[in-house]
Chains A and B, each alone.
Chain A
């Protein structure tokens, strides 16, 4: 596995296509979902062509091969985030389902009316709505850490909220709008000192930064395959084994049981205890290939590449009159630039950029409360990944000048 970031762009077949006839594609929407390298596409294709059968308990060659490939991916993921055991890698549908699993299983077993949960103003809806639902159903109270004008968490306010002895603190590792990389280790240490468990939404961090659960300080970590070169339809909940052992089962069905009688059932061992029904096998195989691909590149190198790119992008964007980029300076953020252009609605920005083949996202990026915090209806967002280059940034900037001219 020797890949180099300098040449990795050619590993992604889709990046060779044109956006429109004669117009090259400049893909700056990886924060929503990344593109897939040839190795991931091939792994999934090979799986269906050569190895598919249902996993576990099959006593024939295909079932054994499918099980080995699917379970092998779990080992890859375990190594990727440095989990203590493969039992701690629970496959879900995506990061959203992983957070919901914690809300439905752990929270309902451990929280009661009046207990507090601390969230932040910069959360994705996926880390807000499950807790809204919980608040509506069992009466937990939600507190929110404010975001400063610079796009950072207000740490003094956080410390004050912790004095109210929350049972859970749940926050994003990296904001999908501001790009802010939160200081997870210190936030988690403070939360633990206050007696709270810590859930980290890693949907934006695990694809872009080295994440080691042994040093992160989280009790729960959620992430999605499709944002990290893998397929849609599979995500991961990591939690420490003792927590998972103590948690009640989530969904019921095949695979999550050890034994079923008419009178009841006995749950299966970890990780299967939380994986009911036939899993997303091909997607698991794809996730394994994605993790192997990222491991080959090295997450330190990926993070450094994106840091360099966002530094350059902020420089170039901020020199355009009327452009305002939200969030902290480059050294505090990942490869995400949410911006506005004076006098032009973000949808119009995105539509005109698309004519030049530049794909950005426009809207609230599933973070409406954060947009409200900055008194914005919407922003345009360029998000970068390992295959983006300075040329992509330059094309974005050229196209933004075209937007300005059109709407002048």
Chain B
């Protein structure tokens, strides 16, 4: 609990990496947690081999939701579409490096949810985890 707002999270919240939108993009997706008002949009550009060349996010929300998006953007640089689709909850929690209470898990996982919905949506599929 004491490191809930550890330096890494606050740093990514205050100085988000990869913040913005991409035009053109290979896919874009937007979703929200209506209960807390967190909103997130992720844009991704893939190269010819289906690997991430650029990604960006915009949104508003708590430190956990915004920092997790920033950390996730950092992680997926160069990743393949299959790797994006295979990302899971544990990957995000590992990036954050903290134990989350059930109430805050939704904040942390919004970026994953948006990214995977976009990655699956590219081929007209929906995220099988949802």
Contact = CB atoms under 8 A, between A and B. Distances in A.
A363 B36 contact: yes
B1 A377 contact: no
A21 to B, nearest CB: 11
B84 to A, nearest CB: 27
A326 to B, nearest CB: 15
Contacts of A376: 37
Interface string B34-62: 11111100000000000000000000111
B37 A351 contact: no
Given A347-B62, A351-B4, A407 B36 contact: no
A406 interface: yes
B25 interface: no
B53 to A, nearest CB: 31
B36 A377 contact: yes
B10 A347 contact: no
B3 to A, nearest CB: 11
Given A351-B4, A352-B5, A377-B37, A345 B62 contact: yes
B4 A378 contact: no
A103 to B, nearest CB: 24
A364 interface: yes
A378 B36 contact: yes
B96 to A, nearest CB: 13
Chain A: number of interface residues, binned into ranges: 10 to 19
A394 B85 CA distance: 49
A346 B14 CA distance: 16
A377 B33 CA distance: 10
Contacts, number: 45
Contacts of A347: 36, 62, 64, 104, 107
B68 to A, nearest CB: 13
Interface in A338-390: 344-348, 351-352, 355, 362-364, 368, 371, 376-378
A362 B62 CA distance: 11
A20 interface: yes
Given A352-B5, A378-B37, A406 B62 contact: no
Interface string B52-86: 00000000111110000000000000000000000
A20 B1 CA distance: 10
B5 to A, nearest CB: 6
Nearest to A343: B14
B90 interface: no
A379 to B, nearest CB: 10
B36 A351 contact: no
B115 to A, nearest CB: 21
Most chain B CB within 10 A, of A20, A347, A362, is at A347
B10 A406 contact: yes
B35 A348 contact: no
B35 A363 contact: yes
A364 B35 contact: yes
Nearest to A408: B14
A364 B4 contact: no
Contact of A377 (B5, B60, B63, B104): B60
Nearest to A406: B5
A371 B37 CA distance: 10
A345 B4 contact: no
Nearest to A344: B63
B2 interface: yes
Nearest to B35: A363
A344 B1 CA distance: 18
B1 A355 contact: yes
Contacts of B4: 351, 355
Interface string B1-13: 1101100001001
Nearest to B34: A368
Contacts of A344: 63
Contacts of A345: 61-63
Nearest to B2: A355
16 contacts: A344-B63, A345-B61, A347-B36, A347-B62, A348-B63, A348-B64, A351-B5, A351-B104, A355-B1, A355-B4, A362-B36, A376-B37, A406-B5, A407-B10, A407-B14, A407-B63
Interface of A: 20, 344-348, 351-352, 355, 362-364, 368, 371, 376-378, 406-407
Top 7 nearest A-B pairs (CB, nearest first) are A377-B37, A345-B62, A347-B62, A348-B63, A378-B37, A348-B62, A406-B5
Given A346-B62, A376-B37, 20 more contacts: A20-B1, A347-B64, A347-B104, A348-B5, A348-B63, A351-B4, A352-B5, A355-B1, A355-B4, A363-B35, A364-B35, A364-B37, A371-B37, A377-B36, A377-B38, A377-B39, A377-B60, A406-B5, A407-B10, A407-B63
